Amino acid sequence: MKHIIIGTAGHIDHGKTTLIKALTGRETDTLKEEQQRGISINLGFTFFDLPSGRRAGIIDVPGHEKFVKNMLAGVSSVDIVLLVIAADEGIMPQTREHFEILQLLNVKKGIIVLTKADLVDEDWLQMIKEDIRNEFKDTFMKDAPIHPVSSKTRVGLDDLIKEIDKLTEEVEAKDTHGHFRLPVDRVFSVSGFGTIVTGTVISGSIKEGQTVELYPSKIVSKVRGIHVHDQPVKIAEAGQRCAVNIANIKVSDIDRGDVVSVENIMEPSLMIDCNLYYLKSAPRPLENRQRVRLYHGTSEILCRVVILDKEEIKPGEEGYVQLRLEKPLTAQRNDRFVIRSYSPMYTIGGGSIIEPLAEKAKRFNEKYLEELKIKESGKTESILENTIKNLSDSYPKASDVLKALGKNEQNIEEKLNILIEENKVIKLDNGDKAIYIHKGFLEEKVEQMLDTLNKFHEANPLKWGISKEETKNRVFGKNIKQKIYDELLDLLVEENKINLHGNFVSVVGFTIKYSKEQKLIRDYIIKEFKKAKFSPPRYADLEGSQQDKKAFKMVFDSIVDEGMLVKVSEDCYLLLEDYNKAKELVVEFIKNNESITLAQLRDQLDTSRKYAMAVIEHFDNIKLTKRLEDKRILY
C-alpha cells in the first residue's frame, strides 16, 4: 500500500493551519502559546482520508522566519507540498525562502493554494495568479495547479481535495524493503508507557518487538508499541507518520534530529562530503571555512564549510564541500540537506550528501575529488568497488561494507558476488563473517611482500624465509585475523605467488644453496646429533670446534629453520627423527601405564635427568602431556 505525506509551506499568517483544519476537521496547533498567538511554532501533525480511500498524513509547518528550523524538520519527508499563498497579499519573503528549501530538498510535486480567496475580487485573483506563474516559471512548480480557496466559506475545498487525490497517484512508492529509518521530530513520555518518539518513516519498516538502535548515541532498545494516525498497529512502513514506544530509554537521552534505525547499520560522523548548490539569492559568495547551520532530516547542527574544488562558491554555483560538524550526524548517501547562514539566519544553499562517513580531506586533492565523482555518479557497482578498495586494509565484512556505503543498499551480497565474478574483489570465506578485499589492494600487498622477501633472501641466503607472523606484521598489519591470514597465504600459494616452508614464507623458486664449506659444517652438525641421540651436544661445544663462528651460526640456524633440528629448550635441540621418536615413546608408555615419571622417561630415552626434564617440560608446553603431582598424563 502506498503511503503519502502532505506538507504545507508558506509565509506566516497565510492560512496554512486554518486550511488544514478546514480539510481535516482537526486542529494542528496544539501548544497553548500557538493558540493564544494565532501562529504555528512547532510542527503540527494530522491526517485525512481521500476520496480514493487513501489515507494521507499531513505535516503543518510554521511560517514565521524565527521557526524555519522547525519548518525544515517537517518538510524534509513530504511527498506533496501545499504551497500556501494568501490571495490578498501574494508572494512574500517567507514564501520565497520556503520554496527555495523545497527545491533544495528535491520535493517534486506540489499544489499552489490561494487562501483567503473570499477577500479579493476576480481581477485581483487573476493578477496574483500571473505573478505566481512568473515567479515559479523555471521550477518544479511551473505547471502546478493553482487552487483559490476559502477556509472560511469552504469555496474551492472540494476541488482541492480532488486535486490532492489525483496527485497522490503519481507519487512513487517508498522503499519499504530497505532498512528502517525514522528521524525523530518529537519525544515525550506517556504515563504507563514510557518514552515515545514520533517521526516519518523514510525507509524500511518497523515491527512491534523489534530491536532498534538510537543514533548517534548508539543506545539499543526494543519497540514496545507503534501508533499510526492515532491507531495501534503491529507494523509501520516508509511514508507513514508514526509514534514508537521504545523501552529503557529516558526522554532526556533523545533529541530532535536523532535517528531510530536498525541495530549496527549506520555510523555517526563529524564530517560529510557533499555536493552543494549555493542559492542565487545569497547576498555574497560562500567563503572557505565559513560557519553555517546544517539541516538534515530533523536535525540542526553547526558546522564549517571546507570548499574542496574552488576558492569560493558564488551565488548560483555548485561545488564539492566537506562539512565539518560540531556534533555527530547520522546520515546516508544521497540524503538531502539545507544550510542557512549562522547569523542572521537565512537559507543560502543545500544539496545531497555524497559521503556520510568522510575522512578529513585536503582542498584541491584531485584523487579525492575523483572519488567523490564516482560516488556521486550513483553507479552501485562503481561505488561498491571503490568503498571496498578504501576499506580493504581493515578487512571488512559485508556488514562493514554496507555501513561504509552510507546508503540503503539492498541485496549487498549479490552485488558483491558480481564484483567477485569480475575479478575485482576477493572473498575470503570465514563462514557468515566472510571478508571482502579489493583485487588491487591484494596485488599491492603481494608486491610489497615479494620485495620484502627478496631483500631478506639476499641478506640471509641460508634462511628459508620470514616467519608467517613477522610477514603478517610487516605486510598486512595487525587488523587481519589469523584465520583470514592463513586462508590468504593458502590462496597466494595456490596462485604460485609465494611458497610456504613450514612456518616460513619464501618467494617461489627459492632454495637454500650451501657452499662447500657450509655443507661440511652442516654434515658435521647432523653427524654429531645423530651420534648423541637423546643426550644431544650443546651449541656452545659444537661452535667451539669451529674457526668461522659466523658461518657456523648461519648453518645451524638454517638446519633449525628447515625443521631438521627441533628446539626443545634453550640448551637442548634434537634431530627431528629423535624428537618424533621421543613423542612416540611417551605416548605409548602412558597409554600402557596411565602415566610416566621423570625417572621412567630418563630410562626410556637412555639419557640424563637434565635432558629428560627438558623433553617432558617441552611436551607440557605443547600440551602433549600435563603434570599431575610427580607424574605426567596425556593432555
Task: Look at residue 41 in the predicted model and tell me its pLDDT.
Answer: 31
Looking at domain 181-261, its CATH architecture is: Beta Barrel (2.40)
Q: Return d(Cα 414, Cα 506) in angstroms, integer.
A: 36
3-state SS string for 261-305: ECCCCCCCEEEEEEEEEECCCCCCCEECCEEEEEEECCEEEEEEE
Beta strand ranges found along 297-424 (DSSP E): 299-307, 312-313, 318-329, 336-341, 347-355
Where do the H-state alpha helices sit in 431-481? 439-459, 468-471
Q: Rounded to 5 degrees, what are φ and ψ at 208?
A: -60, 135
Q: Return d(Cα 161, Cα 31) in angstroms, integer.
A: 27
Task: Look at residue 116 in the predicted model and tell me its pLDDT.
Answer: 93
The strand pair at 205-207 and 235-237 is best described as: antiparallel
Cis peptide before 344 (omega within 30 of 0): yes
Residue 290, amino acid = Q
Task: Look at residue 70 in the predicted model and tell me its pLDDT.
Answer: 56
Task: Look at residue 87 in the predicted model and tell me its pLDDT.
Answer: 92
Task: Look at residue 251 in the predicted model and tell me its pLDDT.
Answer: 92
Q: Return d(Cα 71, Cα 113) in angstroms, integer.
A: 18
Question: Going by C-beta distance under 8 Å and a sequence separation of 6 or more, which residues neighbour residue 498?
Answer: 446, 449, 450, 453, 489, 492, 505, 506, 507, 508
Q: Is 349 exposed, middle or buried (0-12, 13-18, 19+ CB in 10 A)?
A: buried
Task: Look at residue 30 in the predicted model and tell me its pLDDT.
Answer: 45
Considering the entire predicted model, what is its pTM? 0.69
Question: Going by C-beta distance under 8 Å and a sequence separation of 6 or more, which residues neighbour residue 615?
Answer: 534, 568, 572, 574, 582, 601, 605
Among candidates 78, 286, 102, which has minimal Cα distance to 164? 78
Task: Look at residue 287 in the predicted model and tell me its pLDDT.
Answer: 96
Q: Return d(Cα 22, Cα 164) in angstroms, integer.
A: 14
Length of the chain: 635
CATH class of 269-370: mainly beta
The alpha carbon torsion through 420, 426, 428, 433 (nearest 10 deg) reads -60
Q: What is the CA radius of gyration of the chain?
A: 37
Question: Going by C-beta distance under 8 Å and a sequence separation of 6 or more, which residues neighbour residue 276?
Answer: 286, 305, 313, 318, 319, 320, 321, 339, 349, 350, 351
Identify the three-state secondary structure at position 575: strand
Question: Going by C-beta distance under 8 Å and a sequence separation of 6 or more, which residues neighbour residue 30?
Answer: 42, 44
Return the H-helix or E-strand segment holding 94: helix 93-104
**Which residues of the chain are under the pLDDT cut of 50?**
29-42, 63-67, 74
User: What is the fold, at CATH topology level, of the domain defined by 520-634?
Assistant: Arc Repressor Mutant, subunit A (1.10.10)
Looking at domain 4-168, its CATH architecture is: 3-Layer(aba) Sandwich (3.40)
Cis peptide before 216 (omega within 30 of 0): yes
How is residue 184 written as a grid cell?
525523530
Return the H-helix or E-strand segment holding 123: helix 122-135
Q: Rounded to 5 degrees, what are φ and ψ at 181?
A: -140, 130
